[in-house]
Amino acid sequence: MTLKTTVTSKDIDEAYLRIRNIVKETPLQYDHYLSQKYDCNVYLKREDLQWVRSFKLRGAYNAISILDHEAQAKGITCASAGNHAQGVAYTAKALGLNAVIFMPVTTPLQKVNQVKFFGAENVEIVLTGDTFDDCLKEALQYTELHQMTFIDPFNNIHTIAGQGTLAKEILEQSKKDNVVFDYLFAAIGGGGLISGVSTYMDDFSPHTQIIGVEPSGASSMFESVVVQNRIVTLDHIDKFVDGASVARVGDITFDIAKQHVDDYVQIDEGAVCSTILDMYSKQAIVAEPAGALSVSALETYKDKIKGKNVVCIVSGGNNDINRMKEIEERSLLYEEMKHYFILNFPQRPGALKEFVNEVLGPQDDITKFEYLKKSSQNTGTVIIGIQLKNHDDLSQLKTNVHDFDPSNIYINENKMLYSLLI
């Protein structure tokens, strides 16, 4: 018997019937702020308002509920550091199944507690491995040993079909306003979401351009489909956009994306942070990094989408409040508003006042001043952070800093120094 390795719109329609009494139909909202900003009609599909605050519940529930009674009785497993784990936990509780969920030991406590909350007594959590790959390896070994069923987060046709129900909802909801979308933007991690959505849209809204959005530090689908035309494993990924930082996409999702996705956009992690802050301050939307990817891509497409109808899938809102300081920092660095230098600072009265008067502009601010060591009786090595009011003032700031200390080191351009010292 040949295993099915692709997904059809019929599969998605059947998945919708299977999940509709469990999964929330999330709003499709016209966004006045983004529409005015980009001179087009922007709608947001609010999966951040899903029961588990992400779209992952759709695929998890569909993949688990379709199992036969024998497989369900033996229990299910998964490996995840976040949203997929919550979707599996919620499903296990809803169906009265036993689930063992493997999470890396580095998983934030907030996410572990959320999985416990959704799964209650039906879920056992195993914290193992420093990385996701280590965690996954142990999960697969456990699954085989106990003859359970592993629920893959993206490389599973039933998971993909469940995620594709988003497209069915979008089209049904848009009919009420007689809207036909020219563009749909969706995040790509392993490719489950974009595969399901693009499959359905190609059949029922072929006019719509499907744009896959990845973080620059983990653009595994773009590298696989566009650059090398084969599945590749990235040697290194930036894990900041945790919901979309995948080193290797699935073979099923790779084939579907090649067929149905029209374009790919890679977004700098700093730009994602700026979008998160903008969505929170302007629209009161709490988006996680992966959830903000689709909205971030509008800036890249701003010339193409003028006057068009656009939908962005806000794929999740599980953003740990403890990350906000890092998010703000990354945003300021990306916007070229915050800058760090290592200087040899004179050890004499009035030196700091001289620095403020001669180096800083009238609206610049010192955000960090820390002595590393005294180089001599006359000078000391200092890390100094400066926040600008206008990033156009950077050139003048660099000139002023050089005049103050020609041997200064600009830390922003040295990632290793930044990670060590800041």
- Find tokens 């629209």 and name the residue: 283
The predicted-structure confidence for 55-110, as pLDDT tens digits, reads as follows 999 999 999 999 999 999 999 999 987 899 999 999 999 999 999 999 988 887 88
Integer-rounded Cα radius of gyration of the chain: 24
In eight-state DSSP terms, residue 404 is: H
Domains of the chain plus CATH, in order, are 9-55+157-328 (3.40.50.1100), 76-147 (3.40.50.1100), 337-420 (3.30.70.260)
User: Phi and psi of 101, rounded to 5°?
Assistant: -110, 120
- Distance CA(238)–CA(401), nearest Å, equals 31
Pairing verdict, β 76-79 and 99-103? parallel
The predicted-structure confidence for 244-296, as pLDDT tens digits, reads as follows 989 999 999 999 999 999 999 999 999 999 999 999 999 999 999 999 999 99
Q: What is the mean pLDDT of each run of 10 residues along the chain (422 residues)?
A: 77 97 97 98 98 97 97 96 93 97 87 93 93 87 97 96 98 95 97 98 98 97 97 92 90 97 98 98 95 98 98 94 92 96 90 93 93 76 94 94 95 90 84
With residue 118 as reference, give the H or E element that holds it: helix 109-119
- Distance CA(124)–CA(102), nearest Å, equals 9
Q: How many CB atoms lie within 10 A of CB 320?
A: 15
- Distance CA(211)–CA(265), nearest Å, equals 7
CB 296 within 8 A of CB 216: no
- Distance CA(246)–CA(265), nearest Å, equals 15
Residue 104 one-letter amino acid: P
Q: At what angle do helices 394-404 and 351-358 cross, to 10 degrees?
A: 150
